[in-house]
Amino acid sequence: MVEFPPVPMNEALLVLTHLQNDFWHPQGSGYHFTKDTLPFPDTKERIVSLVHQCRSNKVPIIFHNDTFRPGHPELSIRRNGYVRGSGRVLQVPENNMAVRGSWGAQTLDELKPEVGSFEYEVDNAKVDPFTCSEFEVLLRNSGRTILILAGLATNFGIEMTARSANERDYGVVILSDCTDRMLGDYSEQTMQKLLPYFGRVMTSSDLANEFYEQSRP
């Protein structure tokens, strides 16, 4: 097993994937897909605590939100009947999820970016944030080189972000208790056996402890 040094606060940036009402709020149109796939009953609370930790330690945050135009034309362009995998699994068009400008597409109220801090929302119709030019511009301007990943979904947004970041020579940290197990045992095996090839897998409490030690006088 690879031994990692503590995550340096001054090099880290938090990427929150799909922390939106439609996926995390009980009234969201996609909540019924995600609520039973979270590894802990307090997964959302762990993410909220993580955000507070990052803010208190001046760690920048990018909110990568999955959003679509009305009618979901980004998912309606099909070849021989095929549509993007996660869109089919979650039945995004059928449930009218994450339409730009709607309440469902918005970041959860308790996590909304703080004005005046390096916290920005990026709207994207793809699960890999590196497909959005704004995302890479913000990364470069942040000057940070280690991405901390949390949100949805382990085998979609989290895995693809980890792969793309690794290919671009960013350090990657995946928080195992701050994402889902949407595909059951396969997601758990992904967390334990695949994602460690692309970065460090750890818990949010371990990360908080490392930040605390660095912030002590």
Within a domain: 33: yes
Within a domain: 154: yes
How are strands ordered across the β-sheet holding 12-17? 119-124, 61-66, 12-17, 146-151, 171-179, 200-202
Closest CA to 67 of 31, 103, 33, 35: 103
**Packing angle between helix 43-56 and helix 204-215, nearest 10 degrees?**
20
Closest CA to 113 of 46, 64, 170, 177: 64
Within a domain: 130: yes
Within a domain: 135: yes
Within a domain: 131: yes
Per-residue tens of pLDDT for the chain, all 217 residues: 678 999 999 999 999 999 999 999 999 998 988 889 999 999 999 999 999 999 999 999 999 999 989 988 777 655 566 655 555 556 776 778 889 999 999 999 999 999 889 999 999 988 899 998 899 999 999 999 999 999 999 999 999 999 999 999 999 999 999 999 989 999 999 999 999 999 999 999 999 999 999 998 8
Residue 51: predicted pLDDT: 97
Q: How many domains in the chain? A: 1
Within a domain: 104: yes
User: Domain with 189 in it: what CATH number?
Assistant: 3.40.50.850
Within a domain: 38: yes
pTM for the model? 0.93
Enclosing domain of residue 74: 9-215
Within a domain: 2: no
Alpha-carbon radius of gyration of the chain: 17
